[in-house]
Amino acid sequence: MNSWKKITVLGLLFLFPSCLGWFVEKPTFTLKEIAVTRLSLEQINFLLGIEVQNPNHFDLKLRALEYRIYLNDQEVGKGLLEKEVRMAKSSSTIVQVPLQTDFRSLSNPLGFVLSGEDLRYKIEGAAIIKASVGTATIPFSKSGNIKIKN
C-alpha cells in the first residue's frame, strides 16, 4: 500500500468515530419516576427512573450518564452513573439512578415529599453513547411534570 493510501486510511479511522452524530439519531431522556428511598433528619435519598428512548434501528450502549435534577425550578442534586446499559433498537429503557440531597439545599424539603402534587422537573446533563461506529457525548435537557412516589 502506498503512503498516500495509508495516510488516507489512518485519517478516516481517526475521523470516523468523531462523526458519530452523522449516523446516529440522538436518544432522548425523560424523568419518568422519582421515589424517596431514604429520609433522615439531614438528607433525602431518591431513586430516579430515567427513560432513555433509542430512535435508531440498531442497539446503542449508554456508557455513562451525568445528570442534574431540578424540582419546581430548584436544583435538587446531581449525579454520575458509570454503568454500561444496553439500549435496544427503536425502544425505550428505564435507567435507575440514585440522587442524594440534603435538607439545606431545599427550601421546603417536606413539601416536596408530602405534597402528593405534580412537581415541575427539569433534567439536564450529558450521556456517553457507544455505537458500533464510535462513541459520542450527547448533551440533553428535558422538562415536564412528575409526582414523587412515597
Each residue's pLDDT tens digit, 22-58 = 568 889 999 999 888 888 878 888 899 999 999 999 9
On whether the CB atoms of residues 82 and 64 are closer than 8 A, the answer is yes
SS3 107: coil
C-alpha cell at 12: 478516516
Find out if CATH 2.60.40.1820 is the number for domain 3-146.
yes
pTM of the model: 0.76
* 1 strand-pairing partners: none
Q: Mind listing the pLDDT tens digit for each residue in 87-138?
A: 999 999 999 999 988 777 666 655 555 566 788 899 999 999 998 878 889 9
Residue 22, Cβ density class (10 Å: 0-12 exposed, 13-18 middle, ≥19 buried): exposed
Helix and strand totals (H; E) in the chain: 3, 8
- Provide the residue ranges of all domains of the chain, joining segments of one domain with +: 3-146
Grid look-up 440534603 returns: 102
